[in-house]
Amino acid sequence: MEYVEIPYVDKKISRILYGTAISPFMEGGDGDDLLDAVYAMGINTFDTARVYNKAEKSLGNWMEKRGNRKEVVLLSKCAHPDVFGRKRVNEKEIREDFAKSADYLKTEYIDIYLLHRDDPEVEAGRIVELLNAMHEEGKIGAFGGSNWTHQRIEEANAYARKHQLIPFAVSSPNFGLADQVQDPWGGGCVTISGPSHADARAWYQDTRMPVIAYSSLGHGLFSGRVKSSEPEKAKEVMDAPAMKGYGCPENFERLRRCEELAAEKHCTVPEIAMAWIYNQNLNTFAVVSSSKAERMQQNIDAMYRKLSEQEVQYLDLQRDTL
């Protein structure tokens, strides 16, 4: 496993984060064996959120039983819109979310804390001031945005520089080989994938800001269970939001090319799709959820698989042949 330092986090974090937005964690169930397995593989960083039902509770119970809180890096998220779509990017609800998350996670601090959505009507400086205050109080380490545009992050960080405050240190947009052609869940999802977001990727290349990529396998498209030759059966694996976001002809062609390279290299489709992410000129981390430990090992192996520039372009439909 490769580990990297991020400012304001006192532990090195693994390049792969284990995502808890799946069963049994969402139901508050016992996923201890799975958490034990991925932790033993070297994954020390876990992605969760206040909106992931009871996932924080499952994760907190595991850490308490194992006594490993000081070794684990926690990433959680706050200020997701409510079920009616009402935006919640304000001090009262951010602090309320933190208190609930800390209680569920059985911890006094969260290593990486992200705003799950943005509200462009709120001045970026106000948010920076609040998150700095929470950092000073010892509640959070690094902070940043999930589904924030790079323009808004730049706005926040310009304010931080001007006022000598801690800036946003991480960002978690959608990023992967699959182009997110529509907002899967609503409420302002942000992607930096696909041909129309080259400017965003260029900003991340220039700043080297950590990109904590969610839906890095196209929310199941590159899981290995969807076949490019049977797109009509994709709904058996991918839920409605996934089909809305990723179920387009161009992405099925990307899948076909993954299958082609996987056969040539004697590996799996997920390994090729993950390798594509780590062969980008970005400071990339990937959030991956898996109910089987052996699949997580394939994702780890993919970090070290080299792809040629021609293969990278071919997978992303930037060239017709290898």
Q: Residue 259 and residue 7: Cα distance in Å, rounded?
A: 38
Looking at the DSSP assignment, which residues form a beta bridge with residue 309? none
The answer to whether 115 touches 126, Cβ cutoff 8 Å, is no
The alpha carbon torsion through 121, 241, 39, 96 (nearest 10 deg) reads 30
Mean of the per-residue pLDDT values for the chain? 96
Q: How far apart are CA 178 and CA 312, in angstroms?
A: 13
Q: Please report which confidence band the pLDDT of residue 164 belongs to, taking 50, 70 and 90 as the band edges.
A: very high
User: Which residue, among 56, 47, 262, has the nearest Cα to 170 in the 3D structure?
Assistant: 47
The tens digit of pLDDT for each residue in 208-238 reads 999 999 999 999 999 999 999 999 999 999 9
Residue indicated by tokens 């004697």: 266
**How far apart (Å, rounded) are the C-alpha atoms in residues 136 and 121?**
25
Report, as an integer, the average pLDDT of 243-247.
95
Q: What is the pTM of this model?
A: 0.94
Which residues on adjacent β-strands are paired with residue 18? 46, 288
Q: Region 1-13: what's the mean pLDDT?
A: 96
Tell me the C-alpha to C-alpha distance, in Å, between residue 110 and each of 10, 37, 38, 59, 92.
Answer: 11, 22, 20, 13, 18
Question: Tell me, what's the pLDDT at 294?
Answer: 83
Assess whether pLDDT exceeds 90 at residue 5: yes
Peptide bond into 173 cis (omega under 30): no
Please tell me the predicted confidence (pLDDT) of residue 293: 85
Question: What span, in angstroms and rounded, lies between the C-alpha atoms of 266 and 313?
Answer: 20
Reference 37, options 312, 318, 291, 314; nearest CA is 291
User: Which residue in this structure is represented by tokens 């700043």?
Assistant: 207
Task: In whole angstroms, give the CA distance from residue 317 to residue 298.
Answer: 24
- CATH fold of 3-221+270-306: TIM Barrel (3.20.20)
Phi and psi angles of residue 190, each rounded to the nearest 5 degrees, phi first: -120, 130
In angstroms and rounded to an integer, the radius of gyration of the C-alpha atoms of the chain is: 19
Least confident of 59-68, 245-254, 292-301: 292-301
The model's pLDDT over 118-143, given as tens digits with 9 standing for 90+, comes to 999 999 999 999 999 999 999 999 99
DSSP string, 236-247: GTS-HHHHHHH-
Beta-strand ranges (E) seen in the chain are 3-4, 13-14, 16-19, 45-47, 73-78, 110-115, 140-146, 170-172, 211-213, 284-288
Give 143-158 pLDDT, tens digit per residue: 999 999 999 999 999 9
Confidence of residue 292 (pLDDT cuts 50, 70, 90): confident
pLDDT in tens, 103-121: 999 999 999 999 999 999 9
- The residue extents of the domains of the chain are 3-221+270-306
